Amino acid sequence: MYGEIKKSEGRISVKTEHGEAELLYRKDSDILVVYHVFTPPDDRGQGIAEKLADTVVDLAKKEGLRIIPECSYMQAFLNKHKELKKYEMKE
């Protein structure tokens, strides 16, 4: 399992059983550019990265921002969740 999700400017992270998972982004005016999502290999497949992605989408919703998914995980996440496509911005 994993601990409490921590948010700081440009980073969303959570301690896991085997280390720390993180999602990195940069904020450019009204856009969040998500450029890195990592989960320790032994913690993969438990929905941890999905929870981090949900958290950055919630941030975008709350602040009225769009997301540019530069990393492959975030691209796949938005493709899987068609209802969230309105928050995606193509480069």
Q: What per-residue confidence (pLDDT) applies to 91?
A: 57
Closest residue by Cα to residue 53 from 31, 8, 21: 21
- Give every CB contact of residue 28 below 8 A, 6+ residues apart in sequence: none
DSSP collapsed to 3 states, 63-88 = HCCEEEECCHHHHHHHHHCHHHHHHE
Q: Which CATH architecture has domain 6-87?
A: 3-Layer(aba) Sandwich (3.40)
Q: 15-36 pLDDT, tens per residue?
A: 999 999 999 999 999 999 999 9
The pTM is what? 0.92
